[in-house]
């Protein structure tokens, strides 16, 4: 990294982190709020004669379309981020999220527009996916290049905490809507408010990001005329294969932790242990809050002890906490909230992941390398993980934990690599940036 390692965090650094985390939370809220209203959207945007299971499948297909668009959006925005500047793409990504989110809240339904309604919704979801594909990697790079080298873990952990807080915000807003409105009122008007509010907050984030400065790392490269001249992704694939492999593997760890332990577990707890939905959702909110704190704590520890050590320790803790959650709830369901909160904190190991990726690539191709690795891995594993877990859970109730434990094993292998053979190689990549 090309930041000064000795200087302390300044007030400007703190403002940059706060604005970046706030914008990330609002943008991730905009992307994730869809999942909380898939049932309602299935009823409103597809023919009434469609079987319930098919409408639900089609609604989840619209949600998945956002994930499929992430790699393309991330690669394109990262290309210009490495060539023209981090700040410009950082502001563009939140704008591209705000517009489709607002438009979703204004869309006519199938009853008014026929098949045009789901088709337009599909396009808007893909625009959202493209936006978040550029936002997440861009935000990690942006904050990491603003702070001193010895505070990169804290910066990336704080930003990741903001992203996960967006999930919690979506859950709380969805709960509020379903509390204030009756089911009929939710279908009539209530479902629109989360999207309209999210779009307006997105434009507010665009305004706030006008006050952010370009990263010192990029400005220095521009002054030295050291910007990459060829296609950045081509340079990444040709000369940074080890960094891409490491980044994809740690992205798999992040995906398994978030998708299985945060997004899927409430539904699994309802099906496996007959726990009421209200209880699982309350426990999930508590776990997500613990996750936001865990990301910051793991980020701070990464600065103190190193990414390799904290990735390895975090994977071990997550492995143990996941088994404790599922085995404990099977025997004593009344301990769900406490065990889930503990597990959520251990999921905070995902706060180490961006530090590993940021340090893996030199500055000239950092945005493209991180974006390609993260988005492709997330699209593949994010799409396959629910399917794999759903198929395996038919044979054993502990299948979700076995899957997470297996991926944590991959994370341990990466941690060992970082601490031994990969340390010198990745350090060389970092210093060359």
Structure confidence by residue, pLDDT tens digits, 32-61: 888 788 878 888 998 888 887 787 677 777
Confidence at 370, pLDDT banded by 50, 70, 90: very high
Structural domain of 261: 234-433
- Give the mean pLDDT of 285-295: 96
- Give the mean pLDDT of 263-291: 89
Q: Choose one of 164, 194, 227: the last residue of a domain.
A: 227
Pair (373, 250) in one structural domain: yes
Number of helices (H) and strands (E) in the chain: give both, helices first. 21, 0
Structure confidence by residue, pLDDT tens digits, 229-265: 888 899 999 989 999 999 999 999 999 999 899 988 9
Pair (76, 24) in one structural domain: yes
Cβ 283 vs Cβ 268: under 8 Å: no
Contacts of 8 (CB under 8 A, 6+ apart): 148
Pair (48, 180) in one structural domain: yes
Pair (256, 368) in one structural domain: yes
Classify the C-alpha dihedral 362-367-373-374 as positive or negative: positive
Pair (343, 313) in one structural domain: yes
**Domain CATH number, residue 90:** 1.20.1250.20
Q: Choose one of 179, 212, 227: the last residue of a domain.
A: 227
How far apart are alpha carbons 192 and 40 in whole angstroms?
10
Neighbours of 156 (CB within 10 A): 32
- Give the mean pLDDT of 210-215: 86
Neighbours of 53 (CB within 10 A): 9
pLDDT of residue 226 exceeding 90, the answer is no
Pair (123, 261) in one structural domain: no
Pair (201, 240) in one structural domain: no
Candidates 208, 336, 339; CA nearest to 275 is 336
In this prediction, residue 281 carries a pLDDT of 83
Q: Choose one of 191, 207, 227: the last residue of a domain.
A: 227
Confidence at 82, pLDDT banded by 50, 70, 90: very high
How far apart are alpha carbons 177 and 431 in whole angstroms?
50
Neighbours of 420 (CB within 10 A): 10
Pair (223, 239) in one structural domain: no
Query: E strands, 206-331, where?
Result: none
pLDDT of residue 1 exceeding 60, the answer is no
CA angle 342, 163, 309 (to 5 degrees): 55
Pair (205, 245) in one structural domain: no
Cβ 121 vs Cβ 236: under 8 Å: no
């Amino acid at each position: 990294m090309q930041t000064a390692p000795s200087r302390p965090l300044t007030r400007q650094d703190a403002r940059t982190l706060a604005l970046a985390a706030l914008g990330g939370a609002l943008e991730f809220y905009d992307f994730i709020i869809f999942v909380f209203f898939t049932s309602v959207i299935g009823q409103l945007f597809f023919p009434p004669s469609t079987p319930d299971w098919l409408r639900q499948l089609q609604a989840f297909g619209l949600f998945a379309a956002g994930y499929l668009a992430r790699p393309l959006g991330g690669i394109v925005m990262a290309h210009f981020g490495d060539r023209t500047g981090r700040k410009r793409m950082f502001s563009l990504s939140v704008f591209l999220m705000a517009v489709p989110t607002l438009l979703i809240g204004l869309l006519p339904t199938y009853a008014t527009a026929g098949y045009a309604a789901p088709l337009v919704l599909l396009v808007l979801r893909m625009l959202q996916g493209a936006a978040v594909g550029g936002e997440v990697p861009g935000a990690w790079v942006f904050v990491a290049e603003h702070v001193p080298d010895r505070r990169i873990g804290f910066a990336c952990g704080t930003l990741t905490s903001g992203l996960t807080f967006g999930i919690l915000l979506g859950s709380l807003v969805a709960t509020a809507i379903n509390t204030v409105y009756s089911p009929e009122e939710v279908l009539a008007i209530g479902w629109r408010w989360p999207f309209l509010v999210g779009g307006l907050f997105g434009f507010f984030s665009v305004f706030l990001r006008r006050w952010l400065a370009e990263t010192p790392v990029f400005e220095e490269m521009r002054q030295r005329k050291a910007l990459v001249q060829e296609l950045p992704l081509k340079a990444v694939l040709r000369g940074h294969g080890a960094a891409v492999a490491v980044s994809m593997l740690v992205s798999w760890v992040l995906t398994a932790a978030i998708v299985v332990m945060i997004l899927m577990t409430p539904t699994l707890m309802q099906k496996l242990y007959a726990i009421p939905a209200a209880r699982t959702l309350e426990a999930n909110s508590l776990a997500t809050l613990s996750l936001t704190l865990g990301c910051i704590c793991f980020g701070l520890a990464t600065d103190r002890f190193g990414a390799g050590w904290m990735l390895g320790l975090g994977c071990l803790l997550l492995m143990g906490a996941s088994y404790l959650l599922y085995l404990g709830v099977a025997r004593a369901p009344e301990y769900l909230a406490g065990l889930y909160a503990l597990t959520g904190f251990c999921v905070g190991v995902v706060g180490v992941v961006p530090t590993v990726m940021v340090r893996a690539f030199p500055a000239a191709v950092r945005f493209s390398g991180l974006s390609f690795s993260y988005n492709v891995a997330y699209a593949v594993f994010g799409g396959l993980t629910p399917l794999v877990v759903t198929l395996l859970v038919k044979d054993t109730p502990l299948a979700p934990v076995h899957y997470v434990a297996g991926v944590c094993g991959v994370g341990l292998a990466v941690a060992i690599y970082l601490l031994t053979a990969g340390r010198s190689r990745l350090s060389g990549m970092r210093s060359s940036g």
